[in-house]
């Protein structure tokens, strides 16, 4: 896989509010102002296939920490493409950030556009996953079934895009 520059992104899904206080604290996402689970997708360029899925992690876990946990499964020279949430990781190419009280140069803006046009395919695959209501709306089933359901949905998405063959 090292010949490809893989694309990585994650999304959060609301869950039922846990009854125990310690579990509530673990799953409460300040960003979404609700209890969530986070899933991460790593895909091939042009969205040809889903390479790796991490499902069911607690919502407040940052994208970069979630990536660092799964990074061990790939070769050390593997390169990735990500958004600003992955800034600081040496193996991920991220867009340039606008400096305080300054503007980006035209070259930096052009480079950001190129990165965005390469990254859009992971957003399209996340949209295909979220077509299924069970992966989009609040997850009401038992918590231990979450990972299995998300993996099944990703298998259906792979079948839809033509990469999963019986």
> How are beta strands 28-29 and 34-43 bridged, if at all?
antiparallel
Asked if 142 and 157 count as a contact pair (C-beta separation under 8 A), the reply is no
Q: What is the model's pTM?
A: 0.90
> What does the mean pLDDT of the chain come to?
92
Q: What is the residue whose two structure tokens read 């079934």?
A: 145
Residue 150 pLDDT:
96
Residue 166 pLDDT:
66
pLDDT confidence tier of residue 4, bands split at 50, 70 and 90? confident
Q: Candidates 3.30.70, 3.50.40, 2.60.40, 3.30.420; correct CATH number of 5-161?
A: 3.30.420
146, 147, 153, 158 alpha-carbon torsion, rounded to 10°: 170
Domain ranges in the chain?
Answer: 5-161
User: What average pLDDT does range 64-79 have in this prediction?
Assistant: 93
């Amino acid at each position: 896989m090292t010949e490809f520059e893989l694309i990585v992104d994650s999304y959060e899904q609301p869950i039922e509010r846990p009854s125990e206080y310690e579990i509530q604290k673990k799953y409460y996402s300040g960003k979404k102002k609700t209890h969530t689970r986070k899933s991460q997708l790593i895909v091939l360029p042009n969205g040809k296939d889903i390479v790796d899925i991490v499902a069911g992690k607690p919502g407040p876990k940052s994208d970069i920490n979630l990536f660092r946990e799964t990074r061990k499964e790939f070769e050390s020279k593997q390169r990735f493409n990500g958004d600003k949430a992955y800034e600081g990781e040496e193996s991920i190419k991220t867009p340039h950030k606008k400096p305080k009280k300054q503007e980006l140069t035209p070259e930096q803006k052009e480079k950001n556009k190129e990165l965005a046009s390469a990254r859009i395919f992971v957003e399209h695959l996340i949209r295909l996953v979220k077509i299924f209501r069970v992966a989009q709306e609040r997850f009401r089933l038992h918590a231990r079934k979450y990972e299995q359901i998300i993996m099944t949905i990703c298998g259906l998405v792979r079948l839809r895009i033509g990469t999963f063959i019986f």
